[in-house]
Amino acid sequence: MGTRKQSSTYTRNEKLIINCNMSYAVHVIGGRWKLLLLDKIRKGTSRYSDLKKEFSYISERMLTLQLKSMEQDGLIIRNVFAEVPIRVEYTLTPAATELIPILDLLSTWGSKQRALQGDNS
Amino acid sequence: MGTRKQSSTYTRNEKLIINCNMSYAVHVIGGRWKLLLLDKIRKGTSRYSDLKKEFSYISERMLTLQLKSMEQDGLIIRNVFAEVPIRVEYTLTPAATELIPILDLLSTWGSKQRALQGDNS
DNA sequence: CGGGATCCAATTTGATACTG
DNA sequence: CAGTATCAAATTGGATCCCG
């Protein structure tokens, strides 16, 4: 019984996901803003309004969708505080925490590769 | 002076790529079939017609586009043999080879995570 | 054989307005 | 504050036909 229903990037041809765990991982982190959000949350910015301020160029709709997708994929936990102005904070799951060092490797590779390829600012 | 011009997944808001090398890496490998192709090429299947046969469910258009994008991003090299029936083989670049172990980590993480999340085959 | 070009469908993203 | 809902625009993917 999967919790995941929608939020799937590739709904039609899931062969990709079925036979490749790499692709699954990339699928999970591959949303347009997910890595950026993951990085911010990891570094302590956890509140919805703060993320919204930080990434003013991301539409609220996308912000919400990506966060929701990450929540469904077990990357983040959504904590709701029933205060007077409601407060929502996001924290990383253990799975996401395990992912961080791998993402750092990707980051290193990426910067090296960009240098080689020639950056188009 | 960038060799890359098109083939960009996100043409409008490149802020993402500008301030996040992780995102760049994911961008480079994030194409729908790229990881699958990378994996095959890595394992020795390098000829266009073989890839086409292997991934019969990928349209030729996509196969070509993804290969071209990977070539532009410095992941693979396209070797053309001017024989009678023309032959084209693809090989990994050193950069792609460096990427492989990182992808393996992602694969491991992915399979673990899928088990936790409950797979919806 | 190894694509390229064209046309069309599916999916994703964005802008804006509204709500508990 | 923290989202939803709705509609439109941009991007991506697929089918088919053509070419050196």
Query: Does A36 fall in a domain?
Result: yes
pLDDT computed for residue A38 by the predictor: 94
A117/B contact by beta carbon, under 8 A: yes
Structural domain range at position A62: 32-117
Inspect the interface and report whether the beta carbons of A2 and B73 lie closer than 8 Å: no
Q: Assess whether pLDDT exceeds 80 at residue B72.
A: yes
For residue B2, tell me if it sits in a domain. Answer: no
CB crowding A5-19: b at 16 or more within 10 Å, else e: eebbeeeeeeebbee
Q: What is the mean pLDDT of residues B101-121?
A: 85
User: What residues contact residue A28 under an 8 Å CB cut-off, 6+ apart?
Assistant: A34, A73, A75, B110, B113
Q: In terms of CA atoms, which chain A residue is nearest residue B29?
A: A26
Let me know if residue A12 belongs to a domain: no
The answer to the question of residue B19 being in a domain is: no
pLDDT band, very low/low/confident/very high, at B113 (cuts 50, 70, 90): very high
| Residue carrying structure tokens 């023309």 | B86
Q: Are B81 and B87 contacting, i.e. CB atoms less than 8 angstroms apart?
A: yes
H or E stretch at A17: helix A15-18
In a domain, A94, yes or no: yes
* pTM attached to this predicted model: 0.84
What's the one-letter identity of residue B20? C
Which among A42, A23, A45 has a CA at the least distance from the CA of A99?
A: A42
What would the pLDDT profile of A47-85 be if each residue is shown by its tens digit?
A: 999 999 999 999 999 999 999 999 999 999 999 999 989
Protein contacts on strand D: list nucleotides below 7 Å from a Cβ: 1-6, 10-17, 20
Residue B52 pLDDT: 94
Cβ separation B18–A118 shorter than 8 A: no
Residue–nucleotide distance: B63 CA to D14 C1' (Å)? 12
Question: Which residues in chain A belong to E strands, given as ranges?
Answer: 76-81, 87-92
- Is the Cβ of A62 closer than 8 Å to some Cβ of chain B? no
pLDDT in tens, B16-66: 665 678 888 888 988 888 998 999 999 997 899 999 999 998 999 999 999
> Average pLDDT in the A29-41 region?
91
Q: Number of folded domains in chain B? A: 1
Confirm whether any atom of chain C, the nucleic acid strand, is less than 7 Å from CB of A11: yes
Per-residue model confidence (pLDDT) at position B1: 35
A32 CB less than 7 Å from any atom of strand C: yes
CB proximity list for A89: less than 8 A, separation 6 or greater: A46, A47, A48, A78, A79, A81
The distance of B120 to chain A (nearest Cα, Å) reads 5
3-state SS of chain B? CCCCCCCCCCCCCCHHHHCCHHHHHHHHHCCCCHHHHHHHHHCCCCEHHHHHHHCCCCCHHHHHHHHHHHHHCCCEEEEEECCCCCEEEEEECHHHHHHHHHHHHHHHHHHHHHHHHCCCC
A69 within domain boundaries: yes
Give the residue ranges with Cβ < 7 A from strand D. A 12-13, 47-49, 52, 60-61, 64, 67-68, 78, 85-88; B 8-12, 31-32, 58-62, 65, 86
Please give the residue of chain A at the shortest CA–CA distance from B10: A32
When the pLDDT of each residue in chain B is averaged and rounded to a whole number, the result is: 84
Examine residue B59 and state whether it is found in any structural domain, yes or no: yes
Reported as a single tens digit per residue, the pLDDT across A103-116 is 999 999 999 998 98
- Does residue B17 form part of some domain? no
Cα-Cα-Cα-Cα torsion B38, B42, B47, B52, nearest 10 degrees, comes to -40
Residue B61, domain CATH: 1.10.10.10
pLDDT at B3: 34
Contact flag A25-B110 (C-beta cutoff 8 Å): yes
Mean pLDDT is lowest, of A6-15, B13-22, B79-88, for A6-15
CA–CA dist B35, B33 (Å, integer): 6
